[in-house]
Amino acid sequence: MRSRGSGSFLAALLVGGAVLWSLITTDVEMTRLASAGTRIADFLGRMFPPDPSVMDDIIKGSAETLRIAIIGTLGAVFLSVPLGLLASETMAPPVFFRPIRTVLAIIRAIPLILVAMLMVGAVGLGPLPGIIAVAFHATGMLAKFYAEAIDGVSRAPLAALESAGAGTLARLRYAIWPQMAPVIARDTIFRFELNLRESLVLGIVGAGGIGFYIQTYVRSFQYDKAASATLAVIVMVVAIEAFNVVLRRRFS
């Protein structure tokens, strides 16, 4: 009991020290923020009223962003199912799950924007590098979630099937899947929502989607058109969030 209290105190001390170090060593002048108010107001003033003449481009870019998120998530699911099984301590021996978990951690450590830049250089501009980048980056998270969902199931049904001589597929189908299905659905829906948000910025590096139009408008100082695209992004994200809430309730 005392060791647990000492560990909690040490953790709090480390967190407090990190916060204090950040505040002391970061060169942040609040006076600069206060003086930026007029520039921010001027920037926002140039964005209104939004220009509706670019609605065709916005619809095209929004549809492309949605396609990138859908196909990228689908690709991540296909990759994450076998990798999740191999990364599970319940389903795979240490010789498999430990290296696979290390690979998944490396994938998660690579920034999405870097993967998108590499794919743009490899396959050219357009939605394909965005799809590959989203699928690659999402696999690192989804496979980890799937493995943790498998390892988190109750051991009693597994033990019963093992005592009856059931094989791996039978254990997965009748003991593991019924318990993990709601968790898998929740995590996959969450990752799709995250993929959609990340797809919005891939256009900055030429990986397609509405982000490409936003960065084009901003770089050419067409802030009213950028405002129209930004409003479209807000509407799309809110709609997807509402849709995800409905799905989560259905699978919970």
Angle subtended by helix axes 177-202 and 210-219, to nearest 10: 30
Cα radius of gyration rounded to whole Å, the chain: 23
> Could you read off the pLDDT of 77-109 as tens digits, one per residue?
999 989 988 888 877 788 888 899 999 999 998
> Could you read off the pLDDT of 45-81 as tens digits, one per residue?
777 888 778 888 888 888 888 888 899 999 999 999 8
Percent of the chain past pLDDT 70, that is, above it, reads 85
**Encoding tokens for residue 156?**
């009693």
The model's confidence at residue 174, banded by pLDDT at 50, 70 and 90, is low
Rounded to whole angstroms, how far apart are CA atoms 110 and 120? 16
The model's confidence at residue 205, banded by pLDDT at 50, 70 and 90, is confident
* Model pLDDT, residue 235: 85
* Model pLDDT, residue 3: 58
Residue boundaries of the structural domains of the chain: 54-251
DSSP string, 170-209: HHIIIIIHHHHHHHHHHHHHHHHHHHHHHHHHHGGGT--S
* Model pLDDT, residue 114: 87
> Could you read off the pLDDT of 116-139 as tens digits, one per residue?
888 888 887 778 888 888 999 999
The Cβ of residue 184 has, within 10 Å, a number of other Cβ atoms equal to 20
Closest CA to 105 of 123, 129, 85, 87: 87
The CATH number, out of the four listed (1.10.3720.10, 3.60.110.10, 3.40.50.10860, 3.40.50.2030), of the domain defined by the range 54-251 = 1.10.3720.10
* Model pLDDT, residue 201: 78
* Model pLDDT, residue 21: 84
Closest CA to 212 of 109, 68, 81, 70: 68
The model's confidence at residue 142, banded by pLDDT at 50, 70 and 90, is very high
- Strands (DSSP E) contained in 43-162 are none
